[in-house]
Structure 1
Amino acid sequence: MTGPDSAGKEKKHGSTAPDYGLVLTVLLLAGFGLVVLYSTSSWNGQVKFADPAYYLKKQLLATALGLAAMYAVSCIDYHKWGKLAGLGYLISLLLQVAVLIFGDEYNGSRRWLAIGPVSFQPSEFAKVAVILLLARVISSRLQRIVTLRQMLGVMLLALPLVGLVGTNNLSTAIIIMGIAVILIFVASPGYLRFVLIGAGGAGFLAVFLSLESYRLERLAIWRHPEAYEKGYQTMQGLYAIGSGGLFGVGFGGSLQKLGFVPEAQNDMIFSIVCEEFGLMGAVLLMLLFVLLVWRLYSIAVHVQDLFGCLIVTGILGHILIQVILNIAVVTNTIPNTGITLPFVSYGGTSVLFLLSEMGMALNVSRNHPHGESGIC
């Protein structure tokens, strides 16, 4: 193995059809997300903008742009992204600094940058930037991370961005750190070092949470949401889940979306899925995510160079972490923090970059025959 560029030259002859199973799964998730979003957001849209389809129109536009981006990215040799990884990471750092200085605040969080009438969340780009940078560094310089020093060195590359993002968006910072850990784990032959890193990370998190009183308050609200005013959203989400029963109250029949669950179309949309489609609908949605992760895993294990394997693994880690954390928050398994459900929650920047990531995975699948055993 000599790095991502040489690997691309070696494998050009292996170009095949893209993974149609991945394409179909992504289309099903995106389509289901639009349907659920319309049902969930129609009341808010009517009350705030006198248009029940307000949120759907914006999400539909972002999804259309995302699908176009997915196709375009799937046609670009993924090795070319390795040459731009350092620049992309630098741009991501600058965007996060811009958010701290010029960013727009919404619901108490400064996460958005506005360019004219268009606003976006640079933290979504940060996830892609970290995946590409670490995949490039590991595949071209290290190949395998065999020492604790190498592991910490790679981790340190992600920390500046984690720190900047975490200033206003702790949940996304956790996702970025999780992506970095997964990539290092794949490139490392040992396990003991991860126990040490995990213990150190748990200690750091405990100190970090104790520095601000509102973070400790979140822990208290998580344990007893019914005893705190700020536990209102969690309680209403749990009411929605309990109301759905086995088969739900039917599409459009949710009562909790009528202002009881604040901003139901965002982080708490899974609770409305449970209410309208019941346990069976929630399980089917989770199975779609399992299918998506399986297709990404299948691509990763058949890739013949480490760079391509790490790109797909990073994308897989991003989806897996975000889905698990969102569902855990909605069900009050972990303290409440703002994490969207991929392809389903409202958010144009999120769906645009998610679909672009799917395009990268599709290009990797096109450049490596599906029946071969890979390097990971």
Structure 2
Amino acid sequence: MPKKNPYDFTVIISVSMLVIIGIIMVFSSSFSYSLVRMNDGYYFLKRVLIWATIGTGAMVFCARFKYWYWAKYANLLFFVSLVLLVVVLTPIGINRNGAQRWLGAGPITIMPSEVAKFAAIIFVSTSITRKKEKIKSFVYGVLPFLMIIGIYFGLIFAQPDFSTAFVVAVVIMAMVFVGGMKMSHFVGLAGTGLAGIGGMITYLVIKGESYKARRVTSFLDPWADPRDTGFQAVQSLLALGSGGLFGRGLGRSVQKHFYLPEPQNDFIFAIIGEELGFIGGATIILLFMLLIWRGIRIAINAPDLLSCLMATGIISMITVQVIINIAVATSSMPVTGMPLPFISFGGSSLVIFMAAIGVLLNISRYTILDRS
């Protein structure tokens, strides 16, 4: 059994600060919305506190649960995640704003796509470890994981949720790459993927009639259609721009008052920029950079291939979501529904991310790191 070390203090501190900031900003950004729509200004605060408590419990459990034990449950997690993704597309699934992404009843709901991220990391890392001698082969090593990507992508995209499907695909490919696939295979697949995305965007632009086509093109000039497809981007940029260096002050956002729809979710970074200014936004980015850097260090120094791949998947998932969320808030890419890890409101997302951090912390106990 590998020698145990202390948990990585840097990871604990950075995640704790992000979660605390998230709780504060969810309350600040949602008070007006929840007061009018839910008749309770503390509606989202009470729920985020409950989910943060559950998430903390999940993180503590996963931090104490030896990472190699997850391999025993990899197939079960994969099967359960697929079942949930199929069930959510049936009449049992809950439809909100044209998207069918939730399961549950009343105020308690879960997003199967969030469970799928965690399950994919465990299953793929375990599978690569078991067949590491075949990963150099495209047919026997890479193709099976492309099929897994296709299954996950198809089921999540059908909800529809392109951004989450994209994240799952990127995370799996990152693990396969680190697992030892040939560079020629990686370059070929990356080129094919980029060509496919480019082709899809071109098709939407040429078609030009659908809402998605206008959504893709509006980010180039949101003010060309500020009342429709460019509305969210314009309001987000106004929030960020009006914050200045130090911000309007905590709780003093203007855009959260029904300008940005559901500001506690996808556009919470814009509210942070408005209320806490450039300093606040930069602090959030620096905390994520610190967490990502430490996660990469853990992956590089991991004691075995399984832990290296798990750490790679976890930190890739966090990195991709942070980039997409902030890029959307700054109108650097088309608007898409992607929560900011540990900060945006969302029970399933918060619990899954904190559980994943727990796995990363457990790996850090068996990793030789400079812990100063």
Please give the TM-score of this superposition, normalised by the length of structure 1.
0.92
Per the alignment, do residues 144 and 285 of structure 1 end up closer, same or farther by CA in structure 2, a change over 3 Å counting?
farther
- 1:361 aligns with 360
Hey, what's the Cα distance between the residues in 1 that align with 2:165 and 2:108?
Answer: 24
Residue-by-residue CA offset, 1:19-69 (whole Å, 9 max, x unaligned): 121111111110011111111111111111222211011011000010011
- 1:18 aligns with 7
Q: Which sections of structure 2, spanning at least 5 residues, go unmatched?
A: none
Q: Does 1:148 align with 2:138?
A: yes
Match of 2:99 among 97, 100, 109: 109
- 2:77 aligns with 88
Per the alignment, do residues 29 and 144 of structure 1 end up closer, same or farther by CA in structure 2, a change over 3 Å counting?
farther
Superposition CA RMSD, Å: 1.7
Letter of the 1:359 counterpart: G
- Preserved contact between residue 37 and residue 346 of structure 1 (Cα < 8 Å): yes
Hey, what's the Cα distance between the residues in 1 that align with 2:132 and 2:44?
Answer: 45
Q: Does 1:193 align with 2:193?
A: no
Hey, what's the Cα distance between the residues in 1 that align with 2:107 and 2:343?
Answer: 24
Residue-by-residue CA offset, 1:89-141 (whole Å, 9 max, x unaligned): 11111101111102111121110011465211010000011111110111111
Hey, what's the Cα distance between the residues in 2 that align with 1:371 and 1:27?
Answer: 20
Residue-by-residue CA offset, 1:208-230 (whole Å, 9 max, x unaligned): 45378333222122223223312
SS of the aligned residue for 2:263 comes to coil
SS of the aligned residue for 1:111 comes to strand
- 1:306 aligns with 305
Per the alignment, do residues 148 and 214 of structure 1 end up closer, same or farther by CA in structure 2, a change over 3 Å counting?
farther
Per the alignment, do residues 77 and 224 of structure 1 end up closer, same or farther by CA in structure 2, a change over 3 Å counting?
same
Per the alignment, do residues 38 and 116 of structure 1 end up closer, same or farther by CA in structure 2, a change over 3 Å counting?
closer
- Preserved contact between residue 62 and residue 348 of structure 1 (Cα < 8 Å): yes
Hey, what's the Cα distance between the residues in 2 that align with 1:364 and 1:257?
Answer: 40
Q: Which moved more, 1:229-238 or 1:318-327?
A: 229-238
- Preserved contact between residue 92 and residue 125 of structure 1 (Cα < 8 Å): yes
- Preserved contact between residue 89 and residue 133 of structure 1 (Cα < 8 Å): yes
Hey, what's the Cα distance between the residues in 2 that align with 1:13 and 1:340?
Answer: 36
Match of 1:226 among 216, 223, 226: 223
Q: Does 1:160 align with 2:132?
A: no
Shift of 1:231: 1.5
The within-5 A match list for 1:313-352 is: 313-352=312-351
- Preserved contact between residue 144 and residue 188 of structure 1 (Cα < 8 Å): no
Q: Does 1:65 align with 2:64?
A: no
Shift of 1:190: 4.0
- Preserved contact between residue 240 and residue 270 of structure 2 (Cα < 8 Å): yes
Letter of the 2:243 counterpart: G
State how many pairs are aligned: 361
SS of the aligned residue for 2:254 comes to coil
Hey, what's the Cα distance between the residues in 2 that align with 1:13 and 1:142?
Answer: 21
Letter of the 1:178 counterpart: V
Q: Percent identity?
A: 36
Hey, what's the Cα distance between the residues in 2 that align with 1:314 and 1:326?
Answer: 18
Per the alignment, do residues 13 and 331 of structure 1 end up closer, same or farther by CA in structure 2, a change over 3 Å counting?
closer
Please give the TM-score of this superposition, normalised by the length of structure 2.
0.93
Hey, what's the Cα distance between the residues in 2 that align with 1:93 and 1:105?
Answer: 19
Letter of the 1:26 counterpart: V
Hey, what's the Cα distance between the residues in 1 that align with 2:260 and 2:2?
Answer: 53
SS of the aligned residue for 2:109 comes to strand
- 1:41 aligns with 30
Q: Which moved more, 1:185-194 or 1:108-117?
A: 185-194
- Preserved contact between residue 143 and residue 306 of structure 1 (Cα < 8 Å): no
Shift of 1:161: 1.3
Per the alignment, do residues 178 and 371 of structure 1 end up closer, same or farther by CA in structure 2, a change over 3 Å counting?
same
- 2:172 aligns with 180
Residue-by-residue CA offset, 1:174-219 (whole Å, 9 max, x unaligned): 0000101111121226433322111211222244453783332221
- Preserved contact between residue 41 and residue 265 of structure 1 (Cα < 8 Å): yes
Hey, what's the Cα distance between the residues in 2 that align with 1:256 and 1:96?
Answer: 34
- Preserved contact between residue 142 and residue 181 of structure 2 (Cα < 8 Å): no
List, as ranges, runs of 4+ consecutive aligned residues in structure 1 with deviation greater than 6 Å.
none
